[in-house]
């Protein structure tokens, strides 16, 4: 195909959906986004046109950081409250409810037109469970407390949260068996109980189960898949599976294997998402950022290859925000994110943007063979259709009858 004609068709194919968007959040920016010129696009715009949510985290104190929110609103279409909806934040002591941080994040996201992943009503790890909950020895009391907590949190934010990580990390962090959490004194049935409750509390929200390390802990994917399969087969209302994808410094992803793991969950008729992606580097490695860019590219490429992979969320925006350096799991600085401390784009950002642009261009290119007349004719038709849709949309929004 002639390169000039190909570029014309791709540009038109991009223009028509943009015209159809009308006055949406990204309409102005999308009108300038040409996947053949990736620098005209943001990763959020490109992912959105591919049907994928591209998210990041948000804390209440970051809302007042104009640099942070500028990048967030420019580059991302979804947010996950990193800590403000977790149990240790909103009920640190029994009956002591603190929703200020959660309210701030949810309100900001709703007002900004960002989709929200509610993270997380129940985190099945004692390390992150309030001490007063861990100290409950009566299984009946534990279940009652859990039901009360989930009800209080989900009812407060019902109809504003798009999807909930109802249960987080049900398996051992570095193992394949049930978590050693206090919750497993209830057996496995508690997971189904919480999901069924969640469905009644927020029936329009998607309900997800989320797990750490299933992409690299030996045997953990198989154990997690087996757990999810049992839950689905027993009728538990799960809509999606979150694969956190916190990578290890210097680790090399087997892209084909990771893609296969994602498909294992979509084979259960569930959505799947990369929910907490970060790629820490090895300090002192002169090729650290190029290696990091390649690892990010492979994760995103795997998701793009799986029809049911609907979201990629990066666990933070700038390297200075990362949880990894705060907790000191690895040699610091880990620099695991897409932007440096000064909000400048890193090679990983460019790698993702270019991959999304290439994928969008390839998917949007109409099949016209090599007939130049057919290609030009199709371009004219697409422009006409797009203009007609734009006029009808404008009349509907403004009430105008102008032709």
Kindly state the tokens that stand for 166. Answer: 């109802």
Handedness of CA 94, 97, 101, 107 (dihedral sign): positive
- Would you please indicate which residues are annotated as catalytic (active-site) residues? 169, 276
Contact 310, 51 (CB under 8 A): yes
* 240-243 and 78-81 strand pairing: unpaired
Question: CA–CA separation, 167 vs 172, rounded Å?
Answer: 13
Contact 313, 275 (CB under 8 A): yes
Question: CA–CA separation, 289 vs 286, rounded Å?
Answer: 8
Question: CA–CA separation, 87 vs 100, rounded Å?
Answer: 13
Q: What is the 3-state secondary structure of the chain?
A: CCHHHHHHHHHHHHHHHHHHHCCCCCHHHHCCCECCEHHHCCHHHHHHHCCCEEEEEECHHHCCCHHHHHHHHHHCCEEEECCCCCHHHHCCECCECCCHHHHHHHHHHHHHCCEEEEEEEEECCHHHCCHHHHCCCCHHHHHHHHHHHHHHHHHHHCCCCCEEEEEECCECCCCCCECCCHHHHHCCHHHHHHHHHHHHHCCCCEEEEEECCCCCCCCHHHHHHHHHHHHHHCCCCCCEEEECCECCCCCCCCHHHHHHHHHHHHCCCCEEEEEEEECCCCCCCCCHHHHHHHHHHHHHHHHHCCCCEEEEEECCCEHHHCHHHHHCCCCCCCCCCCECCCCCECHHHHHHHHHHHHHHHHHHCCCCCCCHHHHHHHHHHHHHHHHHHHHHHHHHHHCCCCC
Question: CA–CA separation, 192 vs 173, rounded Å?
Answer: 21
């Amino acid at each position: 195909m002639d390169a000039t004609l190909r570029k014309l068709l791709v540009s038109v194919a991009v223009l028509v959906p943009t015209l159809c968007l009308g006055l949406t959040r990204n309409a102005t920016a999308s009108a300038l986004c040409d996947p053949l010129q990736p620098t005209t696009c943001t990763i959020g715009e490109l992912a959105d046109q591919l049907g994928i949510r591209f998210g990041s985290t948000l804390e209440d104190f970051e809302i007042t950081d104009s640099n942070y929110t500028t990048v967030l609103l420019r580059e991302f279409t979804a947010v996950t409250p990193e800590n403000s909806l977790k149990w240790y934040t909103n009920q640190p002591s029994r009956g002591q409810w603190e929703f200020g941080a959660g309210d701030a994040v949810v309100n900001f996201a709703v007002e900004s037109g960002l989709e929200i992943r509610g993270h997380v009503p129940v985190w099945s790890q004692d390390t992150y469970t309030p001490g007063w909950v861990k100290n409950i020895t009566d299984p009946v009391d534990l279940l009652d407390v859990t039901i009360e907590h989930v009800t209080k949190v989900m009812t407060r934010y019902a109809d504003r949260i798009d999807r909930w990580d109802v249960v987080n990390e049900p398996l051992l962090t570095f193992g394949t068996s049930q978590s050693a959490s206090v919750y497993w004194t209830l057996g496995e049935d508690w997971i189904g109980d919480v999901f069924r409750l969640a469905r009644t509390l927020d029936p329009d929200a998607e309900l997800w189960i989320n797990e750490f390390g299933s992409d690299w802990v030996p045997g953990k994917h198989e154990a997690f898949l087996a757990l999810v399969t049992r839950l689905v087969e027993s009728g538990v209302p799960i809509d999606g599976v979150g694969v956190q994808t916190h990578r290890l410094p210097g680790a090399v992803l087997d892209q084909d294997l990771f893609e296969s793991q994602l498909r294992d969950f979509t084979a259960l008729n569930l959505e799947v998402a990369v929910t907490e992606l970060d790629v820490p580097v090895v300090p002192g490695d002169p090729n650290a950022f190029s290696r990091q860019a390649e690892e990010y590219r492979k994760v995103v490429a795997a998701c793009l290859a799986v029809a049911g992979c609907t979201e990629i969320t990066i666990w933070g925006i700038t390297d200075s925000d990362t949880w990894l350096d705060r907790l000191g799991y690895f040699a610091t600085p880990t620099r695991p994110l897409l932007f440096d401390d000064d909000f400048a784009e890193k090679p990983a950002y460019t790698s993702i943007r270019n991959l999304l642009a290439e994928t969008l261009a390839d998917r949007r290119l109409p099949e016209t063979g090599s007939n130049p007349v057919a290609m030009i004719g199709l371009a004219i038709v697409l422009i006409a259709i797009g203009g007609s849709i734009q006029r009808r949309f404008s009349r509907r929004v403004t009430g105008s009858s102008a032709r």
